[in-house]
């Protein structure tokens, strides 16, 4: 038991884990809807899943997994006393995030140009299950994309803090917690990918 004012490493870790838990529950609401509607419209969901581009989905999965590796390497580099390397690794993570968002942009644009977006005439007049599938797809990947964006901005800010020396070998908890947040963003995608793209 330590006191405020001193740096409490375990306290900070407990705080971020609790926060990550709330993020899981936030997406949990969407996964709950997915489960219920999948049960109701299994065939429409299968048809919807076939409409997604699994190659882009796989590419994004690989990109996010790699970015998580870079985030972990950034932390290890800093803990081993190499801030320069840490900044490079953070740069790689942010680049991966940008690539992820770019692919997402291409995917969404293609869907929207085919008239598939929430509330579109095509979905309104199509099978009800497919309308629900794509509404959930856009909501889930949209909110996930927002998290990717926030995580990337956070890591870019941390990189600046590492450069200025505010985050350093002795005091790396900010980087560690931000990397944990990034792993969470990755983890949620690991659930989104099979549920939507690998629907058979």
Partner 1 sequence: MIPVTPAPSSFWNDTGKTGISAWIFSTDHKRIGLLYLFSTFGFFIVGVLLGLLLRIELMAPGRTIMEPQTYNALFTVHGVTMIFLFILPSFPGAFGNLVMPIQIGARDVAFPRLNLLSWWLYMGGALIVLASLFTGGGPPDTGWTFYVPFSARTGTNVSLAVFGVFIVGFSAILTGLNFVTTIHRLRAPGMTWGRLPLFVWSLYATAWVQILATPILAITLVLVMAERLLGTGLFDPGMGGDPIMYQHLFWIYSHPAVYIMILPAMGVISDIIPVFSRKPVFGYKMIAFSSLAIAAAGSLVWGHHMFTSGMSDTAVMVFSFLTFIVAIPSAIKVFNWIATLYKGSISLEAPMLFALSFILLFSIGGLSGLILGAAATDVHVHDTQFVVGHFHYVMFGGTGFAFFAAMHYWLPKFYGRLYRERPAIIAWALMFTGFNILYFTMQVLGMKGMPRRYYDYLPEFANLNLLATVGSWILATGLVILLVNLFHGLLKGEPAGTNPWGGASLEWSTPTPPPTENFAEEPVVTHGPYDYSRTGVP
Which residues sit at the interface with partner 1, rule CB under 8 A? 1-5, 8, 10-11, 14-15, 18-19, 21-23, 25-30, 32-33, 36-37, 40-41, 44, 118-119, 123-124, 127-132, 135-136, 138-139, 143
Question: Given the complex with partner 1, which of 25 and 55 has the nearer CB atom?
Answer: 25
Q: Round to whole Å and give the CA distance between 112 and 167.
A: 42
- 155 close to 94: Cβ distance less than 8 angstroms: yes
Q: How far apart are CB 170 and partner 1 at their closest, in Å?
A: 20
Cα of 25 vs its chain's centroid, Å:
14
Residue whose CB is less far from partner 1, 34 or 70: 34
- Phi then psi for residue 59, to 5 deg, are -55, -45
Minimum CB–partner distance for residue 139 and partner 1 (Å): 6
Is-contact 174 158, C-beta < 8 A? yes
Nearer to partner 1, 23 or 82 (CB): 23
Shortest CB 58 distance to partner 1, Å = 26
Give the separation between CA 157 and CA 152, rounded to whole angstroms.
Answer: 9
Residues 110 and 52: their CA atoms lie apart, in Å, by 10
Nearer to partner 1, 41 or 181 (CB): 41
Name the residue nearer to partner 1 (CB basis): 42 or 81: 42
Task: Report the nearest approach of partner 1 to the CB of residue 105 (Å).
Answer: 18
Nearest CA among 186, 193, 199 for reference residue 56: 193
Q: Tell me the C-alpha distance between 66 and 194, whole Å.
A: 18
User: In angstroms, rounded to a whole number, what is the distance separating the alpha carbons of residues 166 and 172?
Assistant: 9
Report, in Å, the least distance between residue 59 CB and partner 1: 27
């Amino acid at each position: 038991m330590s006191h405020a004012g001193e740096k409490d490493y375990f306290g900070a870790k407990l705080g971020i884990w609790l926060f990550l838990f709330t993020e899981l529950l936030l997406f949990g609401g969407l996964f709950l809807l997915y489960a219920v509607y999948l049960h109701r419209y299994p065939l429409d969901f299968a048809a919807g899943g076939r409409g997604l581009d699994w190659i882009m989905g796989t590419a994004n999965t690989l990109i996010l997994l790699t970015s998580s590796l870079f985030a972990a390497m950034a932390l290890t580099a800093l803990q081993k006393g190499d801030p320069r390397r840490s900044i490079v690794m953070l740069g790689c993570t942010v680049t991966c995030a940008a690539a992820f968002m770019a692919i997402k942009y291409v995917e969404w644009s293609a869907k929207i140009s085919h008239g598939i977006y929430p509330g579109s005439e095509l979905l309104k007049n199509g099978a009800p299950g497919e309308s629900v599938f794509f509404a959930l797809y856009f909501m889930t990947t949209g909110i996930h994309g927002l998290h990717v964006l926030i995580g990337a901005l956070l890591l870019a800010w941390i990189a600046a803090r590492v450069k200025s020396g505010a985050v350093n070998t002795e005091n790396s908890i900010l980087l560690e917690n931000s990397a944990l947040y990034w792993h969470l963003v990755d983890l949620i995608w690991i659930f989104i990918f099979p549920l939507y793209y690998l629907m058979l």
